[in-house]
Amino acid sequence: MFVADKYDVIVIGAGHAGIEAALSAARLGCKTLLTTLSLENLAMMPCNPSIGGPAKGHLVREIDALGGEMGIAADKTCIQFRTLNTGKGFAVQALRAQADKKIYQAAMKSVCENTENLDLKQLLIEEILTEENKIKGVTCETGETFLTDAVILASGTYLSGRIIIGESIFDGGPNGQRAAINLSSSLKNLGVKLMRFKTGTPARVDGRTVDFDKMEIQRGDEGMQNFSFMTDTPVDNKICCYLTYTNERTHEILRKNLHRAPMANGVIEGIGPRYCPSIESKIIRFPDKDRHQLFLEPEGLNTQEYYVQGMSTSMPADVQIDFLHTIPGLENARIMRHGYAIEYDCIDPLQLKPTLEFKNISGFFSAGQSNGTSGYEEAAAQGLIAGINAAAFVKKTEPLILKRSEGYIGVLIDDLVTKGTNEPYRMMTSRAEYRLLLRQDNADLRLTPYAIKIGLASDERTKKFEQKSFEIKSATEKLNEIIITPSAEINQKLSAAGIGEIHNTMALAEIMRRPNVTYEMLEKIFELPKISEQSAKQVEISLFYSGYIQKQKELAEKLDKLESKIIPADIDYNSMQNLRVEAREKLSEIRPHSIGQASRISGVSPADISVLIVWLESFGKI
């Protein structure tokens, strides 16, 4: 065995999960190795050229608040920004950015290459080495062995990847990359339970052959928008996207060729994403729909490639061409890359602790699509937490476990390790029971204190956070302190500002709770502190929704008491005869971290939780 080097942490895979994992571990002082099949494809976006969206935008904001890199890179490389769900409440409003794929990759690669404690190597890892259920190292295709105390699996969709385009099937990863075949066998040999999932992507077309005049233009939003709390300048909208639709001719071609669809004829064995189905799946699942939306999204500023969002497919090449040419604006479009499906191995996330460490292999962590999730944002969020906790494992310090009431990241990881998933998991706002508390606008107020505590917040980030917190606190206090009484002078000022008259004595904070009243309006009339636009927005939202926010906080605090009741790791559930058999089996398999986590396990009833609490209290375990 040729031992090439020793590291504190080794990360397998340099996609969105792997990058955040490696950067966080290195920034926390661990000697870290980030491995990738291709240095040219680091941070690759093999699917859509966008970041964010409902719930996903929340994740990006939280990643940034914790000191991650995705939000900063997205702001630097954004070519169009839009805020979605503006007609709804602030809890579900979300940013979505179109990014230049190549520039995004280059930006991330530059950060990795210039981060202290981080080595970047083009290597194919083939075996995970353990000794007495503890990580010892990895072995590469080159014959090199690297020793380590912690490994983070962030292999994405490359584990035994298989590309499918109609009858054409071959081993491979996204965008024609190599697949990691032997690593799956190594995981199985370690006793890791694997699942088989599938995802897909649409064709890319040559923009020179598209008639955009037949499509609806989708412009970016104006004004200050960004993912990172460190970005101070507005992002320029450099491009437009376009909207078109399928029609009955499209659907007829697809229906006639369903017998050739890999998803229908048994060629595809993996389970696909419910919330991002292929176009042929849409035709089957929604036969009453006479059309489906399609968005033409540019892959970047310096390419003619356009991504046909909404038309993911694994149909044969000739069928793809035929149905594409039925779409308004795409009648003469030339395909530059065909759509394809990819099947891949991933782990059953029920094998993981809330820290994302395997329960039965000390020092082994997993993050991203290798955990059964979909999406760049879900991957990056897991990678960040895995990197933080791998560093904590190496340093023997306290890990970071976010509660469901603290962030979408907490919801994401808790769902995975408590409930598992039988399909590619996608983050949605509906999954978060405290979404009024978990808005994208307050991610820094919720999570940056953790970044400061563990050492991931730069001096600049810490200074900006403290200034913003001070501004919000001082402005809110002043709004509650200033009491005004009805008078001709006061009402004249309020009416002139478009606020409306008052008829009772009240604090300015009460006026802030009126619809469409802004801090800026009151600041022009009364002596209020000068604060930033971002701080003012926080003051406005927190006061306007104060009653609802307080109710959610009280509910979260009540339920968080269950989260603080930690269950001993060595507890024998089979000895609790008053627990139902199903509950004993589920608790023994998942081995929950706390009573709160145990209460969310499918098959464990409230009565089982009562029995568990009584048993633990009787033996002085909690």
SS3 call for 94: strand
Task: Indicate left, alpha or beta for 450 from its phi (over 0: left) and psi (-120 to 50: alpha).
Answer: alpha
- Give the C-alpha distances (Å, rounded to integers) separating 245 from 34, 45, 327, 548: 42, 24, 7, 40
The total domain count for the chain is 4
Task: Quickly state the pLDDT bin for 58 (edges 50, 70, 90).
Answer: very high
DSSP for residue 573: G
488 in the same domain as 389: no
First to last CA, the chain: 47
504 in the same domain as 582: no
Both tokens of residue 200?
A: 């897909």
For range 88-116, the mean pLDDT: 95
CATH of residue 568: 1.10.150.570
**Residues 325, 333 contacting (CB under 8 angstroms):** yes
Q: Which of these, 428, 403, 257, lies nearest to 326 by C-alpha position?
A: 257
Sign of the Cα pseudo-torsion (448, 450, 456, 458, in order): positive
21 part of a folded domain? yes
CATH of residue 487: 1.10.10.1800
For range 88-112, the mean pLDDT: 94
Report the C-alpha gap between 480 and 217 in whole angstroms: 46
Determine whether 555 is exposed, middle or buried from the number of CB atoms within 10 Å of its CB (0-12, 13-18, 19+): middle
For all residues of the chain together, what is the average pLDDT? 94
- Residue 274 is predicted with a pLDDT of 76
286 part of a folded domain? yes
pLDDT above 70 as % of the chain: 99
- Residue 402 is predicted with a pLDDT of 97
431 in the same domain as 331: no
Domain end, chosen from 394, 423, 454, is at: 454
221 in the same domain as 159: no
Q: For 447-485, how does the pLDDT look when each residue is reduced to its tens digit (9 = 90+)?
A: 999 999 999 999 999 999 999 999 999 999 999 999 999
261 in the same domain as 124: no
484 part of a folded domain? yes
Report the C-alpha gap between 157 and 371 in whole angstroms: 10
Q: For 527-543, how does the pLDDT look when each residue is reduced to its tens digit (9 = 90+)?
A: 899 999 999 999 999 99
CATH of residue 99: 3.50.50.60
283 part of a folded domain? yes
Both tokens of residue 311?
A: 């038309």
559 part of a folded domain? no
Helix axes 56-65, 70-77, angle to 10 degrees: 110
Range of the domain at 464: 459-553
- Residue 267 is predicted with a pLDDT of 72
Which residue is associated with the tokens 């071609």? Answer: 253
Taking CA 576 as the corner, what is the angle to CA 574 and CA 578, rounded to the nearest 5 degrees? Answer: 125
SS3 call for 23: helix
- Residue 177 is predicted with a pLDDT of 87
137 in the same domain as 44: yes
SS3 call for 150: strand
Domain end, chosen from 322, 340, 358, is at: 340
518 part of a folded domain? yes
Q: For 248-279, how does the pLDDT look when each residue is reduced to its tens digit (9 = 90+)?
A: 999 999 999 999 988 766 677 778 777 778 99
613 in the same domain as 489: no
Q: For 125-151, how does the pLDDT look when each residue is reduced to its tens digit (9 = 90+)?
A: 999 999 999 999 999 999 999 999 999
Kindly tell me if the per-residue pLDDT of 575 is higher than 80: yes
Both tokens of residue 424?
A: 């590619």
Kindly tell me if the per-residue pLDDT of 86 is higher than 90: no
333 in the same domain as 358: no
126 in the same domain as 97: yes
Report the C-alpha gap between 245 and 284 in whole angstroms: 17
β-strand pairing of 305-309 with 162-165: unpaired
- Residue 264 is predicted with a pLDDT of 65
β-strand pairing of 168-171 with 50-52: unpaired
Kindly tell me if the per-residue pLDDT of 348 is higher than 70: yes
For range 491-504, the mean pLDDT: 91
- Residue 460 is predicted with a pLDDT of 97
Strand partners, 95: 83
- Residue 450 is predicted with a pLDDT of 98
Kindly tell me if the per-residue pLDDT of 106 is higher than 70: yes
> What 3 state SS string does 546-603 have?
HHHHHHHHHHHHHHHHHHCCECCCCCCHHHCCCCCHHHHHHHHHHCCCEHHHHHCCCC
SS3 call for 192: coil
CATH of residue 282: 2.40.30.260
Residue 377: how many CB atoms within 10 A of its CB? 28
186 in the same domain as 138: yes
Q: For 409-433, how does the pLDDT look when each residue is reduced to its tens digit (9 = 90+)?
A: 999 999 999 999 999 999 999 999 9
Report the C-alpha gap between 241 and 219 in whole angstroms: 7
Q: What are the backbone dihedrals phi and psi of residue 327, each rounded to the nearest 5 degrees, phi first? A: -85, 130
Task: Quickly state the pLDDT bin for 297 (edges 50, 70, 90).
Answer: very high
410 part of a folded domain? yes
SS3 call for 323: helix
388 part of a folded domain? yes
- Residue 49 is predicted with a pLDDT of 94
Domain end, chosen from 320, 340, 360, is at: 340
Q: What are the backbone dihedrals phi and psi of residue 225, each rounded to the nearest 5 degrees, phi first? A: -145, 140
Kindly tell me if the per-residue pLDDT of 90 is higher than 80: yes
107 in the same domain as 165: yes
Determine whether 561 is exposed, middle or buried from the number of CB atoms within 10 Å of its CB (0-12, 13-18, 19+): exposed
331 in the same domain as 216: yes
- Residue 622 is predicted with a pLDDT of 65
pLDDT above 90 as % of the chain: 82
For range 216-220, the mean pLDDT: 95
Report the C-alpha gap between 294 and 318 in whole angstroms: 20
